[in-house]
Structure 1
């Protein structure tokens, strides 16, 4: 049998070309398909462009068919998947645009710039649709911080610099970072996750699409100069075409400039307000290649791009480098010829470089020209729409994929609830995130109604006195235990967070972070997770407005935990009634709303005990979960409760502690009243620290809480279980009373995360 190299040569393709397309991530079959589409061999420019447009990042070739399961229609939807960002109606003629994306691989290489440019990229997605960015949230995953080993030092380094990059970009551009999440697990040691979510506000009539229209219209590139930033995989062509020893032409990491982006933002919005643009697109992954080809594809037209007209930061750039450069802070727009001078004048006002670099054509081809010569000519459908899509071959693994975590708690510390609660509050995944949040400006723009750790969701004021709420969530460990049910839980967790501030979900965005989908066990994780997300969204009548897929997040140590990150936006009618999580008034009654029984497997306590992941999570009733969410949301909106907090990591005892510490008020709880039929016969530690969706802690006037009841037929329980007051948390149970002074709980929760960082990397220094 001939070797792959010999087969390439037999087909008339030299070894060097075969090495090129394979090094660029294209298979032999894909290369042959490109040849068939073109009717000839691609040149270096075309091959680099196809390699990017047919990559997983741009084409979603291993996930696109799965994503078709997700519901994308809803009563508030204005703009759905396929645009730079989704948008929903929030009333009064206003829309909220939002999206979440990943910058995992760049952040693992250079965490500060990787995270910073991730924020910059997601902000451009927002103002590319005509919305002014008003908030950022982030979802971060790193390896464990504890200990002094190289891996722990690496995790601390990645955390410090990624957080620094997020704060630098958001603070500098004047967009508040209003919330987020951070988790630490061994599965992320070699592959950190940096997901950024952004929101923007716009009048309905300023929402803008990216489709190129009007043959003869002018293509204008404006913003930063083009350099060799982030050329990435195309470096194989650089090494072959330009010479290995030419260090000046090697690709570099993406470098962000938030001050340039601020000018770009204001320039873009003014151009849209003046109605000077036909369409607008940001330049993100694959740079000019993706932005131009996608605009052409959406409009069913062609484009001619003259690379010799593109303003360059570095001399001597080759055409393929210009086309694949991922230099930041750039936008591409289509303009009618008689408006070009007006567009250039606005760009000059904002000190933003702008150049006419091409034209819209009716050819259906994307042509790249240099000094009048065609150096690339590709049918737009071949480049954008004809990438082969692959069916996955999922198979549930017969053996555990992930090793048991290292044991942190032993002896009495692992079995005595009096010791477990402080340990949980001080653990990396539960301790206060303020050492991180304090590096972010969360009140710039003066819209922030609820700050981080004041409520379960961020709340932002709307001009009419209403508000929007936003939450981002996802538990990789629970999804690793059960990809389907873990993902269902993530969706309901986001909706629960919104309910605690009184908000109704309007739309959902997601970022699906997984390992190599060509491996059956990862394919199974991805398939089950998407199925779970689709079912949960339908159960909540909440559409998916857009999102991102990040695959191949794995190393020699195996894949990351499957991590579908969910971002959800909701609306509440009165900002003044937005819920808080902290107990507010001595003498208030405390009630627990419960739609499901908690369990310990895959919980934070199980992790600290070193327990292996279970093979599955308990089945839940989506109708009951939704009923509990709506009951809490309606109570918050009516003003019947003064605090609302959903039970998540660490279980009921942690949720009670967080509510007590946030309000500076203790509480006395009768656990026997909490349990009811859902906890009968369960061990004390499971009642206190078991996890699962559908449980809330609320407080308010006793008479109002006693009047709360589940809707007829809903399988949820509402019980008054205690009272706010004092300087301790006391929990009465069948065999006695557990009591923790608040000061003994405050110390680990306040210092837990900071104390895991050494003096050189402590985030609050």
Structure 2
């Protein structure tokens, strides 16, 4: 095959090129020709096709995502916002935390183990590229019905992939979700989050300044695995008949990534890195174009110097390969010897493949011929921007009118509690989480099944100065709520993650998100997306927590059937003293049990309607962001003053599930009296802005005064103690029976 050089492209302007096969539209291809003043070479076409893909360019979502900037609340904590590999926030005492969540949905369906494993590896490298040590991971997982053959094929492999990669890296998995719903059959959601720590004056950015500085590719060699993987798989409709066209899923090597982590940290410590970028989706194409575009504007690269696992790879394949465990750094010539010595110490291959220029062009050569000569910003930052048409789904009004009011109320609330507690969504996830190491490195303060994960800072960083501070993290989402009302559904996802951080005693600081939706070419899906983004931006402004970055995942559908719109929200918070953290549940007998917040008759999208009746309709619970903010303030101050002995948020399944889980946390029962006249509503409503807490009798007055001051409703329910959950006049269930129902849900299905 003749080498397609720039010179040859100029001489053969009419040569047909496979742009459609690479996912480019006719007008996009024509625009590339206009930018270059000629047809692109095969290598240039490879770069533009992956960089302008939906996954990399956000071409259908940009016009909506801008709201996260225009509506952003003022935040003294925000150090790095959207536009970099991950957001960074100031967590005090000179420390900063960087965190981000991203999707690896389609690869995890094609090859569950490697798809999920490389999802973890990719998000970890995003955190590394900010100059941080990764300290923990979380994952938000959604599958079809638990009893579906598709789920039984995909879930074990996904869990095994996450466990294998994270455990090999020595990173604790401190939280997340496992959700089952028929809408995810054939299209599971695998959203991975990583958090890292660094000194706030040592942030690294993806930039290539300084003509003459060297471009170094280091880490694993480049192979044929994952050519166009994430960038292509996540940028087109996902259909069974497309199996033959699916690119290979990336193959991960966590042991190389562990070496890469330690190598990067020593490079940062030695101050020999000017700019750095991880190689994830779009591989070398992405790293070179983004670094050059954010730097002096130019770069020259010799692709023959890229270390290969497969020497038969063509330049186009090298550019599109998404082989894992690779990084690209910009290094001054004087620092190259020190840089290489550190890489050699950690047995990490490193090669100078080019240098920074001020030409304003990204130039690449192969066998001495120029095969790429483009303005890098046109690939990295100036891709197409679509204002897709959108309108409310045709059946939306009918869906909202078909509320749960028509469903028969249960006669036996005891049976209802046990049914819900033993359902896949509300049952114990220990079958999954026991495969993860939650306490490796010894810095985990709270982990699953706690409402949020928490880490101490000082011990998480070797050689760090002593501090009592910690960070807390939670992820949440509810596709049923968002299907009923995407605006409110996104706000409810944020509210729950915000509340889950707050019940630990931490103060919520910042947000990351992974927005999982169907095809952007469907106007009904785009309406869902636009409403969810608008809702999330409005809620972040009200709660005072900025969006620091995240991920949009489109084309989550099989054929023409889209998943429920599923915005997954991650919230990071900080606590001044981890010794003051509040554990979930009832720790001992003799404590007063209190319900915070207001309960209304709200069952639209509820677990009761879903599990008992298979119903989805009506409206989700009302959003009250001011109430969420007040509740969080009460919980943070109460924790700092040592007034709380235990706390638990109320969400899926309502008060009944919260009481049951509080009893199960340490085997301590309780006897309570419901505050309202309708026991069913009191127990199973999913009203937001509520929490269950327990306090010592001698701390009650101080806590009650705190609630009054913040205008948070506080209802006394009863006392902890005994070996059963007793709701006076309604139900009496031994803790042992609760535990049997709760722990048998997933083993009953997966063995």
TM-score under structure 2 length normalisation: 0.91
Counterpart secondary structure, 1:113? helix
Q: Tell me if structure 1 keeps the 8 A contact 2:413–2:730.
A: no
Q: 2:37 aligns with which of 36, 39, 44?
A: 39
Query: Across the two proteins, how many residue pairs are aligned to each other?
Result: 711
> What are the residue-to-residue correspondences of 1:37-76 with 2, within 5 Å?
37-70=35-68, 71=72, 73-76=74-77
Find the aligned partners of 2:169 and 2:696 in 1 and give their Cα distance: 43
1-structure distance, mates of 2:683, 2:52: 50
Tell me the residue number matched to 2:235: none
Give matches, 1:199-278, under 5 Å. 199-232=195-228, 252-278=248-274
Bigger mean CA deviation after superposition, 600-609 or 714-723: 714-723
1:687 is displaced (CA, Å) by: 2.1
Residue 48 of structure 1 deviates from its aligned partner by 1.2
Contact preservation (8 Å) 1:72, 1:545: no
Aligned pairs (5 A) from 1:283-682 = 283-399=279-395, 415-453=411-449, 455-463=450-458, 464-556=467-559, 558-595=561-598, 597-671=600-674, 673=675, 675=676
Among 711, 715, 731, the alignment partner of 2:727 is: 731
Aligned to 2:22: 24
Q: 1:709 to 1:396 in 2, by over 3 A?
A: farther
Instruction: State the partner residue of 2:697.
Output: 702
Contact 1:706 / 1:720 at 8 angstroms: preserved in 2? Answer: no
Task: Using the TM superposition, give the Cα deviation of residue 372 of structure 1 relative to its aligned residue in structure 2, in angstroms.
Answer: 2.1
Residue-by-residue CA offset, 1:513-554 (whole Å, 9 max, x unaligned): 111112111011101111111111111101111111111111
Paired with 1:375 and 1:415, the residues of 2 have a C-alpha distance of 74
**1:663, CA displacement in angstroms?**
2.3
Separation (CA, whole Å) in 2 of partners of 1:222 and 1:275: 17
CA distance in 2, matches of 1:369, 1:584: 66
Pairwise CA distance, 1:451: 2.6
State the shift of 1:414 in Å. Answer: 5.1
8 Å Cα contact 2:228-2:281 kept in structure 1: no
**Cα distance in 1 between the residues matched to 2:20 and 2:526:** 23
Structure 1 pair 16/72, CA: closer, same or farther in 2 (3 Å)? Answer: farther
What is the rounded CA distance, in whole Å, between the counterparts of 2:20 and 2:411 in structure 1? 54
In 2, Cα distance between equivalents of 1:89 and 1:338: 32
Q: Please, which of 686, 689, 694 is the counterpart of residue 684 of structure 2?
A: 689
Alpha-carbon distance, 1:609 to partner: 2.6
TM-superposed CA distance for 1:128, in Å, is: 0.8
Specify the alignment match of 2:114 in structure 1. Answer: 113
Instruction: Provide the C-alpha distance between the structure 1 equivalents of 2:49 and 2:398, rounded to a whole number of angstroms.
Output: 33
1:60-92, CA deviations, whole angstroms, 9 ceiling, x for partnerless residues? 001111111112751111111111111111111
Deviation for aligned residue 1:660: 0.7
CA distance in 1, matches of 2:156, 2:41: 43
Query: Structure 1 CA distance, aligned partners of 2:223 and 2:153?
Result: 28
Q: CA deviation at 1:142?
A: 0.4
Contact kept in structure 2, 1:48 and 1:234, CA below 8 Å: no
* CA contact 1:507–1:544 (8 Å) conserved in 2: yes
8 Å CA contact retained: 1:114, 1:165? yes
Q: Partners of 1:462 and 1:253 in 2: how far apart?
A: 35
Q: Displacement of 1:684 after TM fit?
A: 3.0
Of 68-77 and 291-300, more deviation after overlay is shown by: 68-77
> Quick one: distance in 2 between partners of 1:259 and 1:595?
50
Alpha-carbon shift at residue 251 of structure 1 (Å): 5.4
RMSD: 2.3
What secondary structure does 1:609 align onto?
Answer: helix
SS of 1:206's equivalent? coil
SS in 1 for 2:584: coil
The unaligned stretches of length 5 or more in structure 2 are 1-11, 233-244, 401-406, 459-466
Q: What is the alpha-carbon distance in structure 1 between the residues aligned to residue 153 and residue 74 of structure 2?
A: 42
Q: Quick one: distance in 2 between partners of 1:710 and 1:531?
A: 33
Contact 1:96 1:200 in 2 (8 A): yes
Secondary structure (helix, strand or coil) at the match of 1:698 reads strand
Helix, strand or coil: the match of 1:655? helix
Q: 1:250 to 1:14 in 2, by over 3 A?
A: farther
The alpha-carbon deviation at position 157 of structure 1 amounts to 1.6
SS at match of 2:392: coil
Matched, 1:81 2:79: no
Q: Is the 8 A contact 1:594 1:694 kept in 2?
A: yes
8 Å CA contact 1:728, 1:742 repeated in 2: yes
Report Cα offsets for 1:283-339 as digits up to 9, x if no partner. Answer: 000000001101111114111111100110001211111111100000000111122
Give me the whole-angstrom Cα distance separating, in 2, the residues matched to 1:598 and 1:126: 43
Aligned to 2:134: 133
Distance 1:557 1:634 in 2: 49
Cα 1:737/1:234, change in 2 over 3 Å? closer
Distance 1:277 1:44 in 2: 32
Structure 2: how far apart are the matches of 1:381 and 1:579?
A: 48
Q: Secondary structure at the match of 1:326?
A: coil
Q: Distance in 2 between matches of 1:205 and 1:508?
A: 21
Contact 1:591 1:705 in 2 (8 A): no
Deviation at 1:615, TM superposition (A): 4.1
Which secondary structure state, in structure 2, belongs to the residue aligned with residue 178 of structure 1? strand
Counterpart Cα distance in 1 of 2:565 and 2:218:
38
Alpha-carbon distance in 1 for matches of 2:576, 2:188: 38
1:745 to 726, 734, 738: 738
CA distance, structure 2, for counterparts of residue 605 and residue 536 of structure 1: 27
Cα 1:74/1:412, change in 2 over 3 Å: closer
Report if aligned partners of 1:24, 1:233 keep a CA contact under 8 Å in 2: no
Match of 1:158 among 154, 159, 167: 154
Q: Aligned partners of 1:623, 1:322: CA distance in 2, in Å? A: 52
Instruction: Measure, in 2, the Cα distance between the counterparts of 1:235 and 1:739.
Output: 54
- Show the counterpart of 2:104: 103
Q: 1:714 deviation in Å? A: 6.0
- Mapped partners of 2:516, 2:13: distance in 1: 36
Retained in 1: the 8 A contact 2:651–2:688? yes
Q: 1:206, 1:273 within 8 Å by CA — same for their partners in 2? A: no
Change (3 A) 1:235 1:144: closer
Question: Counterparts of 2:322 and 2:154 in 1: how far apart (Å)?
Answer: 22
For residue 5 of structure 1, what is the aligned residue in structure 2? none
Give the SS at the match of 1:726.
coil
Q: 1:169 to 1:730 in 2, by over 3 A?
A: same
Q: CA deviation at 1:631?
A: 1.3
Q: Could you tell me how far 1:429 is from its partner in structure 2?
A: 0.4
- Measured after TM superposition, the shift of residue 187 of structure 1 is 0.5
Whether the 8 Å contact between 1:596 and 1:620 is mirrored in structure 2 is no
* Whole-angstrom distance in 2 between the partners of 1:376 and 1:250: 26
The Cα shift of 1:618 comes to 4.1
Indicate the SS of the match to 1:120: helix
In structure 2, relative to structure 1, the CA distance for the partners of 1:60 and 1:510 (3 Å cut) is: same
